[in-house]
Structure 1
Amino acid sequence: MKILQIIPGKIWGGAEQYIVDLGRELEARGHEVTYLAYDREAVTAQLERRAIPYQTLPFRWSLDRTSINELAAMLRATHYDVIHVHSTRFVPIAQLAVARAGCDTRVVMTRHEAHRTGVNILLRPLFRRLHRIIFVSDLVKRRYRGANGWISDDMCRVIHNSIPPYPYKDVESLRALYDIPSSAPLLMFAGRVKKSKGCSVILKALSRIAHKPFHIVFVGALKSEKYHRQLMEIAAAGGIEKRVHFYGFTPDARQFMRQADIAIAPSVTLDSCPLTNIEYLQLGKCEVSTNNGGQAEYLQDGRTALLVGPGDDMALADAIGRVIDDRDLRERLAKAGREHFEQHMSYSQFVDKVLEAYSNT
């Protein structure tokens, strides 16, 4: 099968890595994958660093004539079985290019976002011709179809995200770097350090259990120095500032995640299917998270994780305190999470489902 993946971002992020990971596995299974991207250095430099061949189009807007014509020329020159788009704004370009080329290429869209977005009535015929819509969670499907009730259920598939296995890479020890004693569990937040991810809620919760042994490391880029100061003010008010550490951005975040004893991911926004939670499942880590997004579909409270309401620092403090105090509980949660990933969410199963969505049957 020949597959054209359209990379949606103007910067490099989780969605872009998701597409590249998928493409690599498809190629490993014998399929041919071509990548189309914006001509932006933030994206093209990352593709070149990974030695991934690509082509660019301007993608100025959803009905950009230049992009439609150039994509149609590509389709006339090479027969692609599938165009996989990862944003609604690329659907009109892909569908009009297919029509202009006069080919039978199937267009598949993955809906990654949880917010409600209604499709313009003039563009609906193009969306009705989609071969499949992949939703990364039932939450995303409910919200998108709630705003677009005319979408046929036959074209819809729910496929939770997954993470491919990554080889081990030696990185520095966070315990050694921050002089964390072996008796103190290493708590970790991995991701962009910003308010919507619940970072201030974490520190308010930890301030409530300051008498317990722990250190926490935030691995990820800080939104701003101002927010960093706000977080440290919360930590200082709670008397825990010497046990709060900010490592910053690193391309090896997944390797550092291996060092966590307890993973904390208390997003206060409606996340669609957060990859960080899935990464911790794959790594077999004890998770404390929130129950407000797509993660609640694959994290079972009390079995594979502890879940609390978003923004509830008291409940978060109680949950973190439980797994700090009870090593058996955190090991049991971690083991069950790893087993759930292997049985239901492995990357091999994920790609099988994507290929089924691509198929013409």
Structure 2
Amino acid sequence: SSDIPYYNLPLSGVFDLFSALRIRKIIREESIDIIHVHNFKTLFSIVYAKILSKKKPKIILSRHLIKKAKNNPLYNFLYSKIDKIIFVSNMAREEFFLSNPRIEKSKTLVIHNSIKPQEEKANTLNIREDNNISEYALLVTFTGRIVPDKGVDILIKAFSQLKPENTYLIIAGSGEEEYLKELNKLVVECNLSSMVIFLGFVKDISSLIAQSDIGVFPSVWREPFGLSIIEFMQGGKSVITTNNGAQKEYIINNETGILVEPGNAEQLSNSLKTLINNKQLREEIGQKGKIYFEKELSYEQFYKKIISTYNI
């Protein structure tokens, strides 16, 4: 909204007193009650500002990583100044506490991420028309950052084991240039040039999802919480993803999606084959995923949980 004040601050970490002084002024002038931050680097200036202020706003941190907490005097000082830490998954919370940081678990909670409802609008993207694809062909789609952690190379290898008729692999997203070159080379080596389409960055993801049949997210790293996955669930599309991250917290294997081992191209290929060859199963999993999303992961629930946290 244009009437919300916006401030551009360095927020550069432990020695950033300039940002702290600016934030102290903002706290005083705007009568701030709550400050919600999303990483520890930002938190330093926020904590300094609170110490320097007469008004003492509550500090809430959202943790978006699966990573052990730093356990040293400096960070234990930060933990003592936080009112709540919100983790995006149980796995993220459990990993954080493995290093025994000096913060009470009662000051932490888990709120799964969500996405806003898709607005009704005309498609700005027509994959089939733009790429001369038959309306009867299946579209297997990956969306996200094109980086090694996302396992897109595993997906291409899995697809090459099938070479399914009348099926296309759509890869949407931008990322590391060298990795993209490797993927393009792999497509050529696997004789998949006519079956794999790189779209680059796609703004209208909802149009892409609507035209897709299967969403595949073969991450080889532990996903703290995969937004791309729940976008497909929201759209009623079946999904295949890996079982090494927080996906297990919202994907019930063979019900709301299919889980596979990370880096296992053969297992991924078999799961793709199952969904490609079984329209009924594909649609059932998509609908169950959508029902689960609406019941457990809707933006309305997410919003209520965040607001409830603000009322500490």
Normalised by the length of structure 1, the TM-score is 0.82
Counterpart of 2:160? 207
Distance in structure 1 (CA, Å) of the matches to 2:229 and 2:77: 36
What does residue range 95-134 of structure 1 map to in structure 2 within 5 Å?
95-134=47-86
The count of corresponding residues between Structure 1 and Structure 2 is: 311
Q: CA deviation at 1:257?
A: 2.0
Q: CA deviation at 1:119?
A: 4.2
Secondary structure at the aligned position of 2:171 is classed as strand
Say whether the 8 Å CA contact 1:157–1:357 is kept in structure 2: no
Q: CA deviation at 1:94?
A: 1.2
1:261 aligns with 2:202: no
Say whether the 8 Å CA contact 1:117–1:147 is kept in structure 2: yes
1:84 aligns with 2:15: no
- What amino acid does structure 2 have at the position aligned with 1:185? L
- What amino acid does structure 1 have at the position aligned with 2:162? I
Residue of 259, 262, 270 corresponding to 1:307: 259
Q: CA deviation at 1:355?
A: 1.1
Counterpart of 1:216? 169
Distance in structure 2 (CA, Å) of the matches to 1:207 and 1:184: 17
What does residue range 66-215 of structure 1 map to in structure 2 within 5 Å?
66-169=18-121, 170-215=123-168
Distance in structure 1 (CA, Å) of the matches to 2:172 and 2:5: 30
Gaps of 5+ in 2: none
1:235 aligns with 2:177: no
- What amino acid does structure 2 have at the position aligned with 1:304? T
Say whether the 8 Å CA contact 1:83–1:107 is kept in structure 2: yes
CA spacing shift, 1:310–1:51, aligned 2, 3 Å: farther
RMSD of Structure 2 on Structure 1 (CA): 1.7
Identity level (%):
30
Which is further off, 119-128 or 284-293?
Answer: 119-128
Normalised by the length of structure 2, the TM-score is 0.94
Secondary structure at the aligned position of 1:207 is classed as helix
What does residue range 243-254 of structure 1 map to in structure 2 within 5 Å?
243-254=195-206
Q: CA deviation at 1:281?
A: 1.2
Counterpart of 1:350? 302
Distance in structure 1 (CA, Å) of the matches to 2:68 and 2:105: 17
Secondary structure at the aligned position of 2:10 is classed as coil
1:63 aligns with 2:15: yes
Gaps of 5+ in 1: 1-23, 25-49
Distance in structure 2 (CA, Å) of the matches to 1:180 and 1:117: 49
CA spacing shift, 1:51–1:320, aligned 2, 3 Å: farther
Distance in structure 2 (CA, Å) of the matches to 1:106 and 1:254: 36
- What amino acid does structure 2 have at the position aligned with 1:252? D
Structure 1 runs, 4 residues or longer, greater than 6 Å off: none
Distance in structure 2 (CA, Å) of the matches to 1:230 and 1:76: 53
Counterpart of 2:234? 282
Which is further off, 50-59 or 212-221?
Answer: 50-59
Distance in structure 1 (CA, Å) of the matches to 2:213 and 2:185: 25
- What amino acid does structure 1 have at the position aligned with 2:275? V
- What amino acid does structure 1 have at the position aligned with 2:206? R
Q: CA deviation at 1:115?
A: 2.3
CA displacement 1:99-147 (0-9 Å, x = unmatched): 2112131000000011224143133123122111000000100111112
CA displacement 1:296-341 (0-9 Å, x = unmatched): 2101110000110111000000000100000001100000000001
Say whether the 8 Å CA contact 1:162–1:350 is kept in structure 2: yes
Distance in structure 2 (CA, Å) of the matches to 1:188 and 1:84: 34
Distance in structure 1 (CA, Å) of the matches to 2:153 and 2:4: 38
Say whether the 8 Å CA contact 1:98–1:105 is kept in structure 2: yes
Q: CA deviation at 1:213?
A: 3.4
Distance in structure 2 (CA, Å) of the matches to 1:320 and 1:112: 29
Secondary structure at the aligned position of 1:239 is classed as coil
Say whether the 8 Å CA contact 2:256–2:289 is kept in structure 1: yes
Say whether the 8 Å CA contact 2:12–2:42 is kept in structure 1: no
